[in-house]
Amino acid sequence: MLLVTHLRKAFDTVLAVDDVSFSVQRGEIFGLLGPNGAGKTTTIRVILKILEPDAGETTYDGRKFSDRTRDILGYMPEERGLYKKSKVIDAILYFAELRGMARGQAKAEAYRWLKRFALLEHAERKVEELSKGNQQKVQFITAVLHGPQLLVLDEPFSGLDPVNQILFKDILLELKREGKAIIFSTHQMEQAEKLSDSLCLINKGRVVLGGSVRDVKKRYGTNSLHLEFEGDGSFLNTLPGVSRSLIYPNSAELELTRDAKTQPILSELIGRLEVRKFELVEPSLQSIFIQVVAGVPAPRQLEAL
């Protein structure tokens, strides 16, 4: 388990990361969300020890990261790029070796992954001859080749076409089943919603909400009920748990209170209306995101350093 506690990192006078804490279990995909410039990438860099934190610490299975535990990490930075003039296979093997992998084993794994990504015929070509999407796949391979326990991906989906997004998603789910802990950052809420088990929303360096996706939705969103029916729906706004309602001749949108149960509502309806559609709509992360981010004050300024 990755445990991040009270991480803090300041640049000049701006707190880029301000008291960030979260945990990621094995076999869990963790979404690090936030608008552009929220501090996602800085958080990742501090976790990976690329930057030294000003305060706080990161442990994996109770141990601090050190030079020796570096090899359990896999990292794909946001900027896309590899050694342009080098051969694909050479670049992959170099990174595998840097992660402490033996050459023979690295070679076998490299070809297995290249095959998986349909890149076998590009293995001997130069990186710069590949398309952007294919370069991104190569970069992904360099992050996962050595079988890291903890995989950190900064905006892994940006710039991928839908087909490859699905491919990446499948592979991430596969790695999750293998028991890896996976962190990925994104500002696309739909991605996070579909893929992550738990998440942490950062804005202006601070965690504004976090936890499992279900919890977050429960805590921050309000469910609404969409109905289609035949009959007189005028009584709908008096049902228990309905806080607001929009009633049309043959349909209605009912906003529910947080603790409202749908089962009692359904039984009230039966016999009084001919119900054609009964749909409980969960709030999207998108709407929560907008709601939460819109109400957050400007980044804290430090007193003169």
Partner 1 sequence: MSKTLAVARWEYLERVKSKAFLIGLFLTPIIMVGMGVLPSVFATQEDEETRVIGIIDRSGVTAREFARRMEERYRLANGAPNYSVRSIAVGQTIDLGEAVRQANNMVSNGEIEGYCVVDGDAAPDSVVEYRSRSVGDFRVGIRMQETLKGIVAERRVLAMGLDPRVLKELAVNLDVRMVKLSKAGEKEEAGFEKIFFSAFVFLMMMFFLIATSGQILVRSVIEEKANRIVEVLVSSCSPTELMAGKVIGLSGLAFTQLGFWTIIGVAASVQFGMELINPGHALLLVIYFILGYLFYAAIFIGAGSPLTTEQEAQQVNTYLILLLVLPMMLALPAMKDPEALWLRVLTFIPFFTPTMMALRVPIQVPALWEILLTVVLMILSIYVVMVAAGRVFRIAILSTGKSPSFGEILRWARSG
Interacting residues with partner 1 (CB under 8 A): 45, 48-51, 67, 70-71, 73, 75-86, 90, 94-95, 97-100, 142-143
Q: Shortest distance, CB of residue 30 to partner 1, whole angstroms?
A: 18
Q: In the complex with partner 1, which residue's Cβ is closer, 80 or 300?
A: 80
Q: Shortest distance, CB of residue 50 to partner 1, whole angstroms?
A: 5
CA distance 156 to 150: 15
Q: Give the pairing type, strands 150-154 and 14-24.
A: unpaired
Say which residues have a Cβ less than 8 Å from residue 44's Cβ, sequence separation at least 6.
32, 75, 152, 154, 183, 185
Query: Mapping DSSP to helix (H, G, I), strand (E, B) and coil, where does residue 148 land?
Result: coil
The tokens for 90 are 């050479």
Three-state SS string over 112-133 comes to HHHHHCCCHHHCCCEHHHCCHH
Q: Shortest distance, CB of residue 92 to partner 1, whole angstroms?
A: 12
Q: In the complex with partner 1, which residue's Cβ is closer, 70 or 187?
A: 70
Which strands, in side-by-side order, build the sheet including 63-64? 14-24, 2-11, 55-60, 63-64
Q: Shortest distance, CB of residue 99 to partner 1, whole angstroms?
A: 6
Q: In the complex with partner 1, which residue's Cβ is closer, 7 or 252?
A: 7
Q: In the complex with partner 1, which residue's Cβ is closer, 132 or 219?
A: 132
Radius of gyration of the chain (CA): 24
CA distance 58 to 40: 15
Q: Shortest distance, CB of residue 154 to partner 1, whole angstroms?
A: 9
Q: In the complex with partner 1, which residue's Cβ is closer, 125 or 218?
A: 125
